[in-house]
Amino acid sequence: MILLWQFCSTKKTTMTKITIAKGDGIGPEIMNATLNILKAAGAQLEFDEIAIGEKVYLSGNPSGISAEDWATIRRNKIFLKGPITTPQGGGYKSLNVSTRKFLGLFANVRPCQSLHPFVTTKHPDMNVVIIRENEEDLYAGIEHQQTDEVVQCLKLISRPGCEKIIRYAFEYARQQQRKKVSCFTKDNIMKQTDGLFHKIFKEIGAEYPEIAQDHWIIDIGAAKVADSPELFDVIVLPNLYGDILSDIAAEITGSVGLAGSSNIGEECAMFEAIHGSAPNIANTNTANPSGLLQGALLMLTHIGQTKVAENIQNAWLKTLEDGIHTQDIYNTHTSKQLVGTQEFAEAVIQRLGLQPQTLPCANYNNAAAIQIPKYIRKTPRLKELAGVDLFVHWPESDPELLAKKIQELEAEDISLTLITNRGIKVWPEGFKETFCTDHWRCRFKTRSGANMNKADIIQLLSLAHQKNIDIIKTENLYTFDGQAAYSLGQGQ
């Protein structure tokens, strides 16, 4: 990446080889339209084309891509991807998720700008960029069912994951001369996971004093974005919240057909439209190629061909201003001519060199790939075992009975201190109104306050096995540098 970026910034006219995949449904049409525009504007690109998506899945490859084509993507590092169709059922895996995670594409960047009055929107002054963490959170997809009634998914939030995405957001804001970065979490409830994201936001934010910063609880923040998006500038947030918020932001600009996004890693990057493959209008020359075109412009700025990107963006804005619209944004007030996919691309090409009259001109501030430093492991803190949570499958309902049974596992210095059901304390001193499932968490600690030993956990498990107590999972309790790093029971 570093090589490529130096290369491009000193010799802008040298060809960059990228990988393209036309994808399914409307993919080939919008890709051809986009490539025609890039070519006409003088983008310095060479292409390796690969096949991904429906045909590959249905040929018997559950990952939707061949090993050879993976190798091409990894070699070229820059990937412009058309929308694909994942067949329903049959265990086909999402190529989007695996591409992001295999290639370490940690940042999803989605600019959402309204184009009032040319595209109908309730939010004329909106210009927001959503920067979403792209690899972790509940999207790790680690799920287990261990009792008849309860299913679990792990939400994982990591320090490197947070540092990388938050630093990327601030570097992006600095490069693009944005005024404010807002962080959204639910750290009033998830004090450790979302709390880590918020804490690192404050840590890294301190290095960018020229940029305004604020934090919103996700529920209220999402409500504000939905109602008054003009209050926001750059928003950085964990994966799941980012998934929801970036779709809200795109939709309320007036059309999801107008937005592209980039997926950025330390070495590789992927660029795409945010919409799907729309098989119902495939091969009708009616799709709007703007989403993929916007993805391609993010790509051009990423590889340093910024002036080409600005030229195309200005011609695209002028085309929209001139009322030359595809059917998805056609309206009786500002549209003048209903055009198809290829005709829209030709109208953009005809306007290369022109600038919009009403909408602001594109200015990418000589953008290029944003370099963030490689994550450096921190010095380990002193980690000590403070206890263990044993999770028990027990299909009865009286916590007092369970406590008696579980207390049989106690050793001289090891005792049961707490039982919760779905997080709420039910022993000691629970409420009879509390609804209990068959999934119980039993917390053991030492009576003396001394640390526990791994052998103590093994001893507890062995005894439980002997006594037919069905332990389905364990969670060790740790302190780091003496600070407890596990939550209390609710009501404890």
Closer residue to a second copy, CB minimum distance, 44 or 146:
146
**Contact between 481 and a second copy (CB under 8 A)?**
no
- Segment interacting with a second copy (CB under 8 A) among 10-18, 169-177, 352-360, 427-435: 427-435
Is the Cβ of residue 11 or residue 191 nearer to a second copy in the bound state? 191
> Which residue, 254 or 356, has its beta carbon nearer to a second copy?
254
CA distance 284 to 280: 9
Q: By C-alpha distance, which of 234, 232, 207, 209 is closest to 221?
A: 232
Preceding omega of 117 cis (within 30 degrees of 0): yes
- Interacting stretch for a second copy, rule CB under 8 A, among 4-12, 239-247, 362-370, 410-418? 239-247
State the binding string over 383-402 for a second copy (x if CB under 8 A, else -). Answer: x-----x---x-x-------
Nearest-5° Cα angle at 119, 117 to 123: 70
- Of 311-330, binders to a second copy (CB under 8 A) are none
Work out the burial of residue 273: count CB atoms within 10 Å of its CB; fewer than 13 is exposed, 13-18 middle, 19 or more buried.
buried
219 Cβ neighbours under 8 A, 6+ residues apart: 186
Residues 48-77 that bind a second copy (CB under 8 A): 63, 74
Please give the DSSP secondary-structure letter assigned to residue 29: H
Q: Taking contact as CB under 8 A, which single stretch among the options 52-60, 293-301, 326-334, 468-476 is the one that binds a second copy?
A: 468-476
Residue 467 within binding range of a second copy, rule CB under 8 A: no
235 with 168: CB under 8 angstroms?
no
Tell me which of 85, 113, 185, 246 binds a second copy, using CB under 8 A.
Answer: 246
Q: How far is the CB of 247 from a second copy (least distance, A)?
A: 4
Q: Which residues, 407 to 426, sit near a second copy by CB under 8 A?
A: 420, 422-424
Smallest separation, CB 136 to a second copy (Å): 5
- Span from 38-46, 156-164, 286-294, 322-330 in contact with a second copy (CB under 8 A): 156-164
Please, what is the minimum distance in Å from the beta carbon of residue 364 to a second copy?
A: 27
Q: Coil, helix or strand for 432?
A: coil
Q: Tell me the Ramachandran region of residue 477: left when phi exceeds 0, alpha when psi lies from -120 to 50, beta otherwise.
A: beta
Query: How far apart are CB 307 and a second copy at their closest, in Å?
Result: 30
- Minimum CB separation of residue 204 from a second copy in Å reads 16
Rule CB under 8 A: choose which of 433, 448, 449, 482 binds a second copy.
Answer: 433
Residues 6+ apart with CB under 8 A from 284: none
| Of residues 219 and 400, the one with the C-beta less far from a second copy | 219
In the bound state with a second copy, the residue whose beta carbon lies nearer, of 226 and 281, is 226
Contacts of a second copy in 212-231 (CB under 8 A):
218-220, 222-224, 226-227
Give CA–CA dist 250/107, Å, rounded. 17
**284 to 313: interface string for a second copy, x by CB under 8 A:** ------------------------------
Q: Is 349 in the site for a second copy (CB under 8 A)?
A: no
For residues 243 and 487, give the distance between their C-alpha atoms in angstroms, rounded to a whole number.
Answer: 27
Residues of span 174-193 touching a second copy by CB under 8 A: 186, 188-193
| 145 CB burial (10 A radius; 0-12, 13-18, 19+) | exposed
Segment near a second copy (CB under 8 A); pick from 38-46, 101-109, 301-309, 363-371: 101-109
Min. distance of Cβ 112 from a second copy in angstroms? Answer: 11
Contacts of residue 102, defined as CB under 8 A and 6 or more positions apart, other chains included, come to 70
Which part of the chain contacts a second copy (CB under 8 A), choosing from 140-148, 293-301, 304-312, 320-328? 140-148
HSE of 51, CA atoms in CB hemisphere, 13 A: 8
How far CA 134 is from CA of 154, 164, 237, 319, 451, in Å, comes to 16, 11, 10, 33, 37
Closest to 25 (Cα-Cα) out of 279, 252, 196, 270: 279
Asked if omega into 428 is within 30° of 0 (cis), the reply is yes
Closer to a second copy by CB, 156 or 282: give it: 156
Closest CB to a second copy among residues 218, 309: 218
Phi, psi of 36 (to 5 degrees): -60, -45
Q: Closer to a second copy at the Cβ: 22 or 441?
A: 441
Contacting residues for 449 by C-beta, under 8 A, at least 6 apart: none
Shortest Å distance, C-beta 74 to a second copy? 7
Identify residues 366-385 at the interface with a second copy (CB under 8 A): 375, 377-378, 380-381, 383
Is 247 a binding residue for a second copy by CB under 8 A? The answer is yes
Q: Dihedral angle at the C-alpha atoms of 244, 245, 247, 252, nearest 10 degrees?
A: 140
Count residues contacting a second copy (CB under 8 A)? 110
